[in-house]
Amino acid sequence: MPDRAFDRSELLSLLLRTAVASAITYLGVKWAVDMMDPTRKRRQEDKKRAERLMTRLGIDKNVHLTDYEMSIACQLVEPVSIQVSWDSIAGLDSVIQELKETVILPIQNRHLFRGSQLIQPPKGVLLHGPPGCGKTLLAKATAREACTRFINLEISSLTDKWYGESQKLCAAVFSLAVKLEPCIIFIDEIDSFLRARATHDHEATAMMKAMFMSLWDGLISDSERCVLVMGATNRPQDVDKAILRRMPAAFHIGKPTLPQRKSILHLVMRGESASDDIDFNRLAKLTDGFTGSDLRELCRTAAIYPVRDYMTSPSATVFGGLSGAGPVPDGPSSVTRELSRPPTAQLRPITQADFDRAISKMKESKSHTGGLLSTDDMLD
Ligand SMILES: Nc1ncnc2c1ncn2[C@@H]1O[C@H](COP(=O)(O)OP(=O)(O)OP(=O)(O)O)[C@@H](O)[C@H]1O
């Protein structure tokens, strides 16, 4: 007997069943792959964090972001949460003035820069110089003062990824910045990511660098876009020459000179209980070669001596002295009065002698180790 030919309804039903089975298989496989993806949980957390940040930053809910852009959006910084302002930086007035003119003015007055190719603001700014001299401070203050979107790009968030993910995230950095413009993309230690290309570079790294550069070029050629890349490095000589060309505004932040050291010391000591005998000129002379961060450490070291003197004095025994706060004894009302006063009020002011001790201690430590002793070591 000849096979009965499929009639129309049987054919439709077969097609339908095949389609349903394929859809179920597809969804099942997708679910299984999603579950196996080790980054899934982190991506979900990133998404929630990014959404919260976007709301706090007042970013329009209609700005639709891809999953990759969401991962990068977690690295957005709220300008209001940045504690560093121009006033927190001493001795770098000329760099601050140039940053205001090069970076902030074009962002805040875009209309002035339209219509001329000659005065287009730079799409790349480089801060370079030895460690601890204020590069990160300058970048943070720029973000705060410019009131612009600021992506503090952690390079590890691009590189520690599955093959192929890095490029997508790299593209997302730029597409997100364009969606949120005006925007600064800040990369600390840019040399570690965009160092001179070498033949032994991993293929994925080389591709990511090439992609980063080509996306950046897209920004450079588009005068309407208000996105700039700001990098900081201690090793400008290691940064790829092609990258340096894309950062025409470069600022060298060197070790502070004598007047700069004096300003930094004044700034760090502002608001501290300090004796009138402190000679800031002398301190600035004695600290030749110190970075801003060394000077801060010096002040911290000097400020510990009054604490140490207090902790070894008899009045400190009610707090348990150096051995830690023991049980408070029941006792006369004088003890109660003593305890109700804030302990800092009982510290003597920081003196020149404290600074002299701190300087010798730090210089000695430097000569032995090349590094500096932590203040915490002094209480041992
Ligand atoms: N010009 C300055 N004015 C006030 N404080 C300063 C200055 N320079 C450095 N400091 C102090 O040193 C600390 C370190 O500075 P910062 O992190 O900006 O250095 P950096 O140049 O970015 O160093 P690195 O290259 O190691 O990241 C600051 O938190 C601040 O306390």
Whole-model pTM: value is 0.76
Which phi and psi (to 5°) does residue 318 adopt? -65, -20
The reply to whether 226 and 301 lie within a common domain is no
Domain annotation covers residue 166: yes
Ligand 1 centroid to Cα of residue 343, in Å, is: 30
CATH (domain of 155): 3.40.50.300
Q: ipTM strictly over 0.90?
A: yes
Count of domains observed in the chain: 2
Question: For residue 79, is the peptide bond before it cis, meaning its omega torsion is within 30 degrees of 0?
Answer: no
Nearest to 317 by CA among 309, 325, 306: 325
Domain span holding position 263:
256-311+348-368
- Distance of alpha carbon 71 from alpha carbon 127, whole angstroms: 26
Domain identity same for 194 and 291: no
The CATH number of residue 302's host domain is: 1.10.8.60
What residues contact residue 368 under an 8 Å CB cut-off, 6+ apart?
Answer: none
> Is position 296 within any domain?
yes
- Express each pLDDT in 205-240 by its tens digit: 778 888 888 888 887 777 778 888 999 999 988 888
* Model pLDDT for residues 33-79, shown as the tens digit of each residue: 777 766 667 777 777 777 777 787 777 777 788 888 888 888 888 77
Which residues are CB-neighbours of 89 under 8 A, at least 6 positions away? Answer: 96, 134, 137, 138, 141, 267
Q: Does ligand 1 lie within 6 Å of residue 91's CB atom?
A: yes
pLDDT digits (tens, 9 = 90+) for 328-338: 343 344 444 44
Confidence of residue 260 (pLDDT cuts 50, 70, 90): very high
Q: Which of 87, 152, 296, 297 to mutate to test the pocket of ligand 1 (most atoms within 8 A of CB)?
A: 296
Q: Is 171 in the pocket of ligand 1 (CB under 6 A)?
A: no
Tell whether 181 and 284 lie within a shared domain: no
